[in-house]
Structure 1
Amino acid sequence: MSDENDKKPESDPQLAAKIKGSARQIWLAGLGAYTKAEEDTGRFFDRLVQEGEQLENKTRGVVEKQIKSVEDRVGGVRERATGTWDKLEHLFDERVSGALRRLGIHRREEIEALERRIEALESELVRLQGQSRRDEEE
């Protein structure tokens, strides 16, 4: 019976050593694969970061160009709107002034000019009256 027990795989020392050696190789291969994956992951991550930076730089340029384009268009529209608004305001002032003139209402500038003329005439009148009194007294 002992011959039969010796032929069983559980009792074969060489087979056990081979299995143990294979298990160790599998374990070492797993460790190696893990280390390799960790290294590759680091390089892969670094490559992804580089590609992300490149993409960001490309898109930043495009976005900045688009922003500049929009700002230029807005500036152009603003200038046209301001010019149009100024023209409209000037036209409105002319129309209102014309309507007031037709109604016999003078503009502030015209009234102020008339006030200055009246003041000058009053000054001249006072001067002439003073001269006339002196002439009478003589």
Structure 2
Amino acid sequence: MAKKLKQNGDQQTADVVRMSSQEIWQAGLSAFAKAQEEEGKFFSMQLFEERVLRALSSIGVPTSQEVAALNRRIDELTRQVAALSGKPAAVKKPAAVKAQAKPVARARAKTAAK
């Protein structure tokens, strides 16, 4: 009787291990399939971005790196001019944010209609 219970216990343990390993295997396959799908999307996006970049550069549109380098050069030249002229360079102020207009006309039209 004890042998039979031990065999049943061993069988149950083996079944649990088998089921667990099968679930892990299926999760791995699912993750692999998802990675392949994402890789395809990523490759398509990279290809699209490369094509757009080539098209923009062929018509002479500067890249963001080129614009940033130009801005750094302008700042450097501004400092040099200020040093040579003896006057402090003008500090750029950020543009003021404009308040959005309120829809007053609509409110008046609604009250007039009542």
What interval of TM-score do these two structures reach, taking the shorter chain for normalisation? Answer: 0.5 to 0.7
Match of 2:15 among 47, 53, 59: 59
Aligned residues: 85
Runs (5+) with no aligned partner, structure 1: 1-42, 132-138
User: What root-mean-square deviation, in Å, do the aligned CA atoms of Structure 1 and Structure 2 show?
Assistant: 2.9
SS at match of 2:60: coil
Match of 2:35 among 63, 66, 79: 79
Higher share of residues assigned helix:
1
Match of 1:88 among 44, 48, 51: 44
Query: Which residue number corresponds to residue 108 of structure 1?
Result: 64
Stretches of 4+ moved more than 6 A in 1?
Answer: 49-52
Which protein shows a greater Rg? 1
Q: TM-score scaled to structure 1, two decimals? A: 0.47
Greater RCO (Cα-Cα under 8 Å, separation 6 or more): 2
User: Which range moves more in the overlay, 67-76 or 53-62?
Assistant: 53-62
Q: Deviations over 1:86-121 (max 9, x none)?
A: 333322221121122223222222111111111111
User: What is the alpha-carbon distance in structure 2 between the residues aligned to residue 103 and residue 115 of structure 1?
Assistant: 21
Q: TM-score scaled to structure 2, two decimals? A: 0.55
Query: Which residue number corresponds to residue 83 of structure 2?
Result: 127
Runs (5+) with no aligned partner, structure 2: 88-114
